[in-house]
A and B are shown apart, each in its own frame.
Chain A
Amino acid sequence: GPKVLQIPSHQIIDMGQMVTLNCDPVSNHLYFYWYKQILGQQMEFLVNFYNGKVMEKSKLFKDQFSVERPDGSYFTLKIQPTALEDSAVYFCASSPGNSGNTLYFGEGSRLIVV
């Protein structure tokens, strides 16, 4: 089936440093999402993105977070500066764009902030 690729699969970073998580969504998809999952807990919505803009973001999407997809390249989540509580697995997802369409998820980027 359709594949969403995420790079890196895991990263350890010092608190206060910047990190960029990259997502290569399914090629013809129009909507992109980031979710955060702390170990053993539920998937929590962070943000979604369409036509170059953030459509909706949750209260978990702090000011230190930003997303972009320059010129159809990777859809990125940047955290600057990182904090200890940012340690989690971040999942990217994409969907074609019609109402009720399935979201396709990547395998996640495990971020450890030390």
Chain B
Amino acid sequence: AQSVTQPDARVTVSEGASLQLRCKYSYSATPYLFWYVQYPRQGLQLLLKYYSGDPVVQGVNSFEAEFSKSNSSFHLQKASVHWSDSAVYFCALSAHTGGNNKLTFGQGTVLSVIP
């Protein structure tokens, strides 16, 4: 069975500060890993994904994430946040099961960016 844990339910940062949102996963092999963002009353939008290769992946809006097999982690980072980054961020995992790309989500982290 696989699982995803986002240990921080809420994170508050000042505009212009750097950001790290933590994600830990549990899976017997190397999974596919995703970060999605959810703005109020909207669906999920993909920020970035990791399949293999370079452990640092770049995403939209200057987000990046680093995969660590030894730590079973996939933390999301941004060098300088903007107030419009305020949203809920979900880390998700997909196992290697053919075309069935069922995602297992973490609990989500609410990011508040204060001016």
Other-chain residue from B46, B90, B98 in contact with A99 (beta carbon distance below 8 A): B98
The answer to whether A41 touches B107 (Cβ under 8 A) is yes
The answer to whether B102 touches A43 (Cβ under 8 A) is no
Count of chain B residues with Cβ under 8 Å from any Cβ of A?
Answer: 27
With A31-B100, A42-B108: A100-B90 Cβ-Cβ less than 8 Å? no
Q: How far is the CB of B94 from chain A (nearest CB, A)?
A: 6
With A42-B90, A42-B108, A43-B105: A50-B43 Cβ-Cβ less than 8 Å? no
Other-chain residue from B42, B49, B105, B106 in contact with A107 (beta carbon distance below 8 A): B42
Q: How far is the CB of B99 from chain A (nearest CB, A)?
A: 4
Residue of A nearest to B6 (CB): A42
Q: How far is the CB of B100 from chain A (nearest CB, A)?
A: 6
A contact set with B: CB distance below 8 Å: 4, 30-31, 33, 41-45, 48, 50, 55-56, 91, 93, 95, 97-108
20 contacts between A and B (CB under 8 A): A31-B99, A31-B101, A42-B105, A43-B44, A43-B105, A43-B108, A45-B103, A50-B99, A55-B100, A91-B43, A93-B103, A99-B32, A99-B99, A100-B51, A102-B34, A102-B101, A105-B36, A105-B43, A106-B43, A108-B43
